[in-house]
């Protein structure tokens, strides 16, 4: 599988793992403190071939993704589930631990930010769906992130991520309704809060 876009990863181990899965060129950020030269290189790559941001599913990876998205808002994004990026010995999360098949699947399902839509999501909407301010909020955010293909976030990051990708209330309504229909029976997850709750 040949990837035309340049894949932005965090380090050399990620590049090695990517090249085990697909034929692609990479740019390494060398950690979460991305310097100006690297941001310029990523912007140039986007202008010439396009980029896919593919960072680890953890806080530093999310920070890198957000920094790049601010500079290159039309970049594509690929995400790994935490379970698919876990070190066999535990403790460490990263692309370098993912199987080639999982990497290929993530790269086949990249997310492209929509430029023609304005997000209408706010904190009150997230509270209605128990995505923040609820005892099951972490679980809901993981399920939503997987369903929408936008990765896992904490409560503060979720609103930014949904807006960054120009997702709407309708997008979240559809995803959460499907999630609840699938998992309500086995997990007894509560539904959307009703008016007056």
What is the overall mean pLDDT for the chain?
Answer: 88
Any residues with CB less than 8 A from the CB of 152 and at least 6 apart, and which?
57, 81, 82, 141, 142, 145, 146
Task: In whole angstroms, give the CA distance from residue 11 to residue 88.
Answer: 19
Which contiguous run of DSSP H or E holds residue 195?
A: none
Which tokens belong to 139? 């679980």
Is 0.85 topped by the overall pTM? Answer: no
Band (pLDDT 50/70/90 cuts) for residue 19 is very high
The residue among 164, 155, 156, 153 whose CA lies nearest residue 67 is 164
Percent of the chain's residues with pLDDT above 90:
56
Report residue 37 as tokens: 């030269």
pLDDT single digits (tens) 74-109: 999 999 988 888 888 877 888 999 999 999 999 998
Mean pLDDT in residue range 8-25:
95
pLDDT, residue 33, reads 82
Task: For residues 187 and 63, give the distance between their C-alpha atoms in angstroms, rounded to a whole number.
Answer: 32
Phi, psi of 28 (to 5 degrees): -105, 130
- The predicted-structure confidence for 138-196, as pLDDT tens digits, reads as follows 999 999 998 888 888 888 889 988 988 888 999 999 999 998 888 766 655 555 544 44
pLDDT at 189: 56
Percent of the chain with pLDDT over 70: 93
Closest to 6 in 3D by CA, of 50, 36, 41, 38 = 50
Q: Please give the pLDDT value at position 32.
A: 79
The pLDDT score that the predictor gives to residue 195 is 45
Please state, in angstroms and as integers, the Cα–Cα distance from residue 176 to each residue in 34, 114, 173, following that order.
Answer: 34, 20, 5
């Amino acid at each position: 599988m040949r990837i035309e876009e340049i894949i932005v990863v965090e380090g050399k181990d990620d590049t090695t793992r990517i090249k085990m899965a697909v034929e692609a060129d990479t740019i390494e950020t060398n950690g979460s403190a991305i310097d100006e030269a690297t941001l310029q290189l990523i912007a140039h790559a986007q202008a010439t071939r396009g980029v896919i941001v593919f960072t680890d599913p953890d806080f530093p990876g999310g920070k890198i993704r957000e920094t790049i998205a601010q500079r290159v808002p039309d970049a594509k994004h690929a995400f790994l589930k935490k379970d698919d990026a876990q070190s066999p010995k535990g403790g460490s999360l990263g692309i370098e631990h993912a199987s080639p098949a999982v990497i290929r699947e993530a790269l086949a399902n990249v997310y492209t930010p929509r430029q023609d839509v304005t997000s209408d999501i706010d904190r009150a909407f997230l509270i209605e769906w128990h995505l923040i301010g609820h005892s099951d909020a972490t679980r809901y955010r993981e399920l939503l992130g997987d369903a929408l293909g936008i990765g896992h976030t904490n409560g503060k990051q979720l609103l930014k991520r949904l807006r960054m990708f120009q997702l709407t209330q309708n997008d979240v309504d559809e995803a959460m309704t499907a999630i609840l229909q699938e998992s309500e029976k086995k997990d007894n997850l509560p539904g959307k809060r009703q008016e007056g709750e």
